[in-house]
Amino acid sequence: MRTARLRVEVVYALPGRQDVVVLHLGQGATAGEAALASGLALPGGVLRLGVGGCRVVPEERLRDGDRVEILRPLASDPKEARRRRARERPQR
């Protein structure tokens, strides 16, 4: 009897570039394990991960076909950026 394997993709995107690694992992694999196995995440670093566009903890169990996204820190606070644009916009 064969042990079922999960096929998952791990993705890390930068402006103008996206790295994708396809992995075959054992049942019960987690998002954190997949990120580390991909070689795209550094061991010991803080992992901010998403699956299917939703933020998940590294301990999140994966399903066959999941796409694990390694999330980058935001360049700026979205609320503050919105306020700055509003201040710079010409008043009518």
Q: How high is the pLDDT of residue 37?
A: 95
Summarised one tens digit per residue, pLDDT across range 4-59 is 799 999 999 888 999 999 999 999 999 999 999 999 987 777 889 999 989 999 99
- Domain ranges, ordered by start, for the chain: 5-88
Q: Does domain 5-88 have CATH number 3.10.20.90?
A: yes
Other C-beta atoms closer than 10 Å to the C-beta of 12 total 19
Contact at 8 Å (CB) between 20 and 11?
A: yes
- Predicted TM-score (pTM) above 0.85: no
Rounded to whole angstroms, the Cα distance separating 33 from 59 reads 8
- What does the DSSP assignment read for 74-90? PSS-HHHHHHHHHHHSP
